[in-house]
Amino acid sequence: MQGTITTTRREQVAIHTYTSPESGLAVNTHVIELASQLLILDTQYGLPFAVEAAEFAASLGKPITRVYVSHAHPDHFFGAGVFNTPVHALPSTRETIAAAGDVMLAGNKAAVGDFVPDKVTVPTIDVEPGVEVIDGVRFEFAAVTQTEAEAMLIIELADEGVVLAQDLVYDNLHLYLAEKHLAGWRTSVEELRSKGFSTVLPGHGAPGGPELYDYVLAYLDVAEPALANATNGAELKSTLLTAFPRAGGAGLLDIQNGYLFPTA
Ligand SMILES: [Zn+2]
């Protein structure tokens, strides 16, 4: 296996976090194992890694009943078709993927070819924020707006002290700033921290605890003025690389510069 699995085990649930290697953006697919079924949260960018995550899920010997996509970024939804299960998402995420997914895929196909799937799998089932009990476990689905993406689904397992925070939190990787909601991102991370979850499962990188919030907030402290003051992509990239020399995912800095400085 090229990816890594980190398992967070509680009495009624085990969450197996599949993290792709850096060539797959270190993005996570969380396999939520309940008594009788598996739920999947996020589906990878690279096809080989989606297949690996699906093979790992199959090895658990329980049916996958739902796939969730947290937000409308390619690294989270491109691999959805591999899981052969209806895809759930927030309505605005479904609408964005339906409207723009093919354009995103065409752009990525041009860049990386068969590394990404041949077609977009559009979510068909809307997630309603609120509480749902599944296999005896209380899930709270929350829609967080204007952070790393316009809309982000996060899943709180309050009874287990676990939050699946997705791209509100990265572990020791460069953050994707292209949507420019840095102030909203900070506020949402601070709000999430105040809820006191002991285990934080990020969208990219290894699971951890509340210290993951500190990394994101420290990154935003540097990134906010850097983004406001940079006159070109090279300048922004250099500031971030200098401030966070040990952060992975430097490839994301070039991708986001394509959006932030389109003429550069
Ligand atoms: Zn992401």
Give strand ranges (E) for the chain.
4-9, 14-19, 28-33, 38-41, 64-68, 87-89, 125-126, 130-134, 137-145, 151-157, 162-170, 199-204
Which residues pair with residue 28 across a beta bridge?
Answer: 19
Quote the ligand 1 centre to 40 CA distance (angstroms). Answer: 15
At residue 255, the pLDDT reads: 86
At residue 50, the pLDDT reads: 98
Domain carrying residue 146: 4-260
At residue 251, the pLDDT reads: 85
Pairing mode, if any, of strands 64-68 and 38-41? parallel
Quote the ligand 1 centre to 107 CA distance (angstroms). Answer: 17
Task: List, in order, residues 6 or more apart from 169 with CB less than 8 Å away.
Answer: 189, 192, 200, 202, 203, 212, 213, 216
CATH code for the domain of 187:
3.60.15.10
Model confidence at 38: pLDDT above 80: yes
Quote the ligand 1 centre to 167 CA distance (angstroms). Answer: 6
Quote the ligand 1 centre to 116 CA distance (angstroms). Answer: 15
| Residues 198-228 pLDDT 10s | 999 999 999 999 999 999 999 999 999 999 9
Give the number of domains in the chain. Answer: 1
Quote the ligand 1 centre to 75 CA distance (angstroms). Answer: 5
